[in-house]
Chains A and B, each alone.
Chain A
């Protein structure tokens, strides 16, 4: 044995089955002190499961955990915290009505934990509900550190952040590692891996396919380890089929839409025209009125002033598929009926012909490759990618003239993301007017023919070129130079 310093956290031969499904088939993972370690893998590859084992949330069937070289038992998150392991989950766990300081005290109150990097620019006396999403996320990390954690497990911490916030968070993670801490970063985004990680481990179907220093790896090598083949190209170009001669599918003129909640400015005096076949991207920092724009076009919200004229039918792919797009406790076919309502395919007066609806559901599942045991499968048992494909397939199955799409690929893996993009492009190629917003600016720029920015309730159309820095500045309200 070489005299290498002991690993901060070592997982050896971790095996875990859920019923007959193998989640982890003997995974090894080594986190060195003072490093940031990216944990990559498609949805369902076992990333979260592995970290939940390390944090004591899931008991492994087999395997050994070592912290600082000593074998340990971690049966609960409490054990993990005692051993200096902290985890930041995908959802926020702070109390909105309490201040930043009070939330830190609740978490454990250790002031020495090197949380300063994550708290920079944060008012300790501000109430959490007043914080931006990025600030809330940094508070989550600081809370984990307040328990005395030296090992941080970050479960997709950047999924809900905008570029500048992601940068701040990753910067703080780097500083944490530089000061001797160790961090695991679960992510889907290869950019982040190269921006911040020292080491990388890739899981595929519960098995480690790549592990070691990031040095020498490329996007291609990581993607190959993740999905086992060359990644579907994300930049398939689309024939420009938009036809500006056709009458517009969406016409918005001086429209004002009242805010949905107190944190949003709503939409003020916005004007926008979308022609059939166009993909218009909406770039905006969360809570700037873009939600009102999307929902007004989808017909859910109504303008208090001005005109919002939209060709029917429209379909909405809402931001949060699990609460807004689908009802997880209901079946596939029930969710199809949910989205299409009183459809001639199954409506018989007041009665509902479920067999007819099931045929439609099965058809959508086939056409959009929704993998589920059948149309009666409960949504909650489907993977995120399959849920999203169902939402999209359901929307497109009505042959909409206008498609309103929010965060179409949040939480999806590379393959599912590429499929989703392809579906959106071919919908546009087929003459659908598409309005798409994503909190991932790169996704907006990748998909859009035209880009509009919504900032503090004002809608502005940008002129080409749609270059990242320019659009980012406009999103933050910085006037063009």
Chain B
């Protein structure tokens, strides 16, 4: 990113503004902002445990789904259905995880994750088909399939995949061999490393390969890309959307095999939507997504601590997140407008 210093300044400034606003609102409502901020920091960065077991664990799906959104977005597609693909991936991962107890971890874990990838890709296949065949906007179809996926999970954990005891709406724990390695004594799992590698891979894809160039060209200038006669625009969009769904599905699989070890209702606290903000804030740049994913992961981790230690509802950090997004979007659009009036397209 050429404007990196400006980007950091803007995001940092927006972040501070969001915190300030949160403090004011908490003070007005009679909470102790000092205690709130202490909990926010201690719960996200205050200790190795907070950092690794809370912040990084939260950031893992946010970064991964942010990359997923970016993959489609840079090609001109809008995948608003990552929440659904995440759940579809989680269902498949759980099912495989329940059945691979006999296999060694080196086989079981890749199987689980590949299954999740396939699940996420399958969940976006219908929107892709509808887009290709009937021109249905994927914004709508992917969004609507989120609700179907939620219902499907509910049905699964109350029906075919419910635990053997049939007490709670959840699945049994997946086989130990299917669980991802994690830091001893903590919750940080191998998925985080995989996600960072995927981010680096996405960066290389976008900026160092012909395929990535074709993807960006398709997103920025679909007509020119098609008329160049060198870019199979349609295939690029299909593959980008498929990849987007696959990454979201992988996120679901990692959550099951790395964190929860079982399928639940409400498995995702809105990762699929928060990740859109994570990706847009980073302008779809994979390396920047690591940064914004960590920021939002830290905020969510800190929010949990704030609720436990200061008695302030965790959703209060949504104020900070919203402020960041609004400030950055407004600053961007002002910047764009200024650009537009300065260069009247060369024709004068």
Distance, CA A186 to CA B10, complexed state (A): 42
Size range of the chain A interface in the assembly = 35 or more
A211 at interface, CB cutoff 8 A: no
Rounded to whole Å, the gap between the CB of B16 and the closest CB of chain A is: 30
Q: Are A350 and B231 in contact (CB under 8 A)?
A: no
Say whether chain B's binding surface is mostly helix, strand, loop, or mixed. Answer: helix
Known: A18-B342, A327-B217, A382-B346. A351 touches B227 (CB 8 A): no
Q: Are A324 and B210 in contact (CB under 8 A)?
A: no
B224 at interface, CB cutoff 8 A: yes
- Looking at B216, B217, B221, B345, the one whose CB has the most chain A CB atoms below 10 A away is B221
Q: Are A90 and B347 in contact (CB under 8 A)?
A: yes
Residues of A near B226 (CB, < 8 A) are: 300
Q: Are A326 and B344 in contact (CB under 8 A)?
A: no
Distance, CA A117 to CA B18, complexed state (A): 59
Q: Are B228 and A19 in contact (CB under 8 A)?
A: no
Q: Are B221 and A43 in contact (CB under 8 A)?
A: no
Q: Are A342 and B227 in contact (CB under 8 A)?
A: no
Q: Are A298 and B229 in contact (CB under 8 A)?
A: yes
Size range of the chain B interface in the assembly = 20 to 34
Rounded to whole Å, the gap between the CB of A169 and the closest CB of chain B is: 19
Residues of A near B347 (CB, < 8 A) are: 43-44, 48, 90, 156, 384, 411
Chain B, range 217-246, C-beta contacts under 8 Å to A: 217, 220-221, 223-231
Q: Are B348 and A325 in contact (CB under 8 A)?
A: no
Known: A58-B341, A327-B225. A43 touches B230 (CB 8 A): no
Q: Are B213 and A334 in contact (CB under 8 A)?
A: yes
Residues of A near B348 (CB, < 8 A) are: 23, 41, 43-49
Q: Are B344 and A325 in contact (CB under 8 A)?
A: no
Rounded to whole Å, the gap between the CB of A117 and the closest CB of chain B is: 27
- Looking at B211, B216, B227, the one whose CB has the most chain A CB atoms below 10 A away is B227
Q: Are B229 and A338 in contact (CB under 8 A)?
A: no
Distance, CA A18 to CA B341, complexed state (A): 9
Q: Are A383 and B346 in contact (CB under 8 A)?
A: yes
Known: A300-B229, A334-B213, A351-B210. A326 touches B346 (CB 8 A): no
Q: 0/1 per residue, A14-38, Cβ < 8 Å to B?
A: 0000110001000000000000000
Q: Are B213 and A352 in contact (CB under 8 A)?
A: yes
Q: Are B346 and A338 in contact (CB under 8 A)?
A: no
- Looking at B231, B344, B345, B347, the one whose CB has the most chain A CB atoms below 10 A away is B347
Residues of A near B344 (CB, < 8 A) are: 48-49, 52, 58
Known: A43-B347, A58-B341, A383-B346. A327 touches B230 (CB 8 A): no
Distance, CA A384 to CA B348, complexed state (A): 10
Distance, CA A328 to CA B223, complexed state (A): 12
Distance, CA A318 to CA B223, complexed state (A): 11
Rounded to whole Å, the gap between the CB of A59 and the closest CB of chain B is: 9
Chain A, range 387-411, C-beta contacts under 8 Å to B: 387, 411
Q: Are A380 and B229 in contact (CB under 8 A)?
A: no
Known: A58-B341, A298-B229, A338-B228. A350 touches B223 (CB 8 A): no
Q: Are B230 and A299 in contact (CB under 8 A)?
A: no
B166 at interface, CB cutoff 8 A: no
B208 at interface, CB cutoff 8 A: yes
Residues of A near B211 (CB, < 8 A) are: 350
Task: Give the nearest-CB partner of A382 in chain B.
Answer: B346
Distance, CA A48 to CA B347, complexed state (A): 7
Q: 0/1 per residue, B321-348, Cβ < 8 Å to A?
A: 0000000000000000000011111111
B209 at interface, CB cutoff 8 A: yes
Q: 0/1 per residue, A325-350, Cβ < 8 Å to B?
A: 11111100010011111100001001
Distance, CA A330 to CA B222, complexed state (A): 12
- Chosen A-B contacts, 10 in total, with CB atoms closer than 8 Å, are A43-B346, A44-B347, A316-B229, A318-B227, A327-B220, A327-B221, A341-B229, A350-B211, A351-B209, A411-B347
Closest CB pairs A-B (n = 8) = A341-B230, A327-B221, A383-B346, A48-B348, A49-B348, A329-B220, A384-B346, A327-B220
